[in-house]
Chain A
Amino acid sequence: MRCADARKLMWRAQDSALSEIDSDALNGHLSQCAECIAERDAVTQTMGLLDAWQTPQPTRNYASFLQRVQRDQVRRQKPAFRRWLAGGLATASIVCGIGLGFLTAYPVEQPVPSENELASAIGLHTFGDMIESAIHYDPDSTVGVQNGKEIDL
């Protein structure tokens, strides 16, 4: 085993994520390479240091969660009237448009909507959709961020 390979395995060994074969190979290399032993000790120390950063105790609880859910529901209900009004106006304008179309008609090809457009038009949301929708962050949320991009790896 080369030193570079041994060093890759050292990091994984810190997470107890080595197979038996890899573990034996690493130990075999360490038994005859002083440089890698020194490196292994430094790696162990580095990983040990990470425990110095502790997570503070959370301050909120289920009551805070329920308050938040209620707040969200109220926020969603408010624009409902405006949505109905907008829907009414949109329907009226479509009816007028169709009427005008009949009066001034000549054949024009209409684009066929995609599956996604159809699915979103009929409100098709599965639990999986919800998970995916989390990739796009809500700009109204309290973290103060704006609509998002996908995870970039």
Chain B
Amino acid sequence: MQLDNDAELMQRVAEGDESHFQDLFDRHYDRAVAIAYRSLGDLDAAEDIAMEGFARIYEARRSYAPTARFTTFLFRVIVNLCMNAAKRRRIVTFETLDESQSAARDSDPAATAQRKELCDEVRAAVLSLPPNQRMALALTRYEHMSYAESAEVMNISLKALESLLHRAKENLRKKLRHVVE
């Protein structure tokens, strides 16, 4: 199998050169958080999940074998952790639009309020989807992964992924109908 650069770094980590783990962390942490955030709707919980995912890979580093892309391993762990957490949390915290997103973007309070309202609507619609539909949407729509890669990360068939996405989008169409029309 052709090793990508991540896999080469992970291979070196597995051989004891642990300094390279930071490169992998810095390269993929934000994306791991983004996936978890779309699934849980809470930044703090998303960062906990991302940390946990990296910690699990770090703990298992000695037995690493490059049988898939490093990101496939990493995101599969993240997805599994998210699915379990989402099921158990039941109620996703609806934090209001992050201050850093809304503050100082412009001086028009009406536009800011309108943007916040739209963000809250979209967020509520996405977070009300079942966890597996939400995850399929997060990977393909928000993280721009191909269907094949998303299916591999979710450990499901391509057909199952397509079915999840179709249901997710139909649900979103219904939930956001009042905003679109």
Chain A residues near B (Cβ < 8 Å) = 8, 11-12, 14-15, 17, 42-43, 45-47, 49-50, 52-62, 64-65, 68-69, 72, 125-131, 133-138, 141-143, 145-146, 148-149, 151-153
Contact = CB atoms under 8 A, between A and B. Distances in A.
A82 to B, nearest CB: 21
Interface in B46-76: 46-60, 63-65, 67, 73, 76
A148 B142 CA distance: 26
B85 A47 contact: no
Contact of B51 (A45, A65, A134, A137): A65
Contact of B126 (A50, A58, A72, A136): A50
Interface in B162-181: 162, 164-166, 169-170, 172-173, 176, 179-181
Contact of B115 (A52, A58, A145, A151): A52
B118 A130 contact: no
Contacts, number: 159
B112 interface: no
B60 A125 contact: yes
Contact of A11 (B58, B115, B123, B165): B165
Contact of B122 (A49, A134, A145): A49
Interface residues of B, number: 74
A73 B61 CA distance: 15
Given A8-B166, A45-B180, A53 B47 contact: no
Given A53-B122, A56-B101, A65-B51, A47 B84 contact: no
Contacts of B25: 62, 65
Given A62-B26, A130-B63, A137 B81 contact: yes
B43 A59 contact: yes
A72 B58 CA distance: 12
B9 interface: no
Given A50-B126, A54-B101, A145 B85 contact: yes
Nearest to B59: A130
A134 B25 CA distance: 18
B4 interface: no
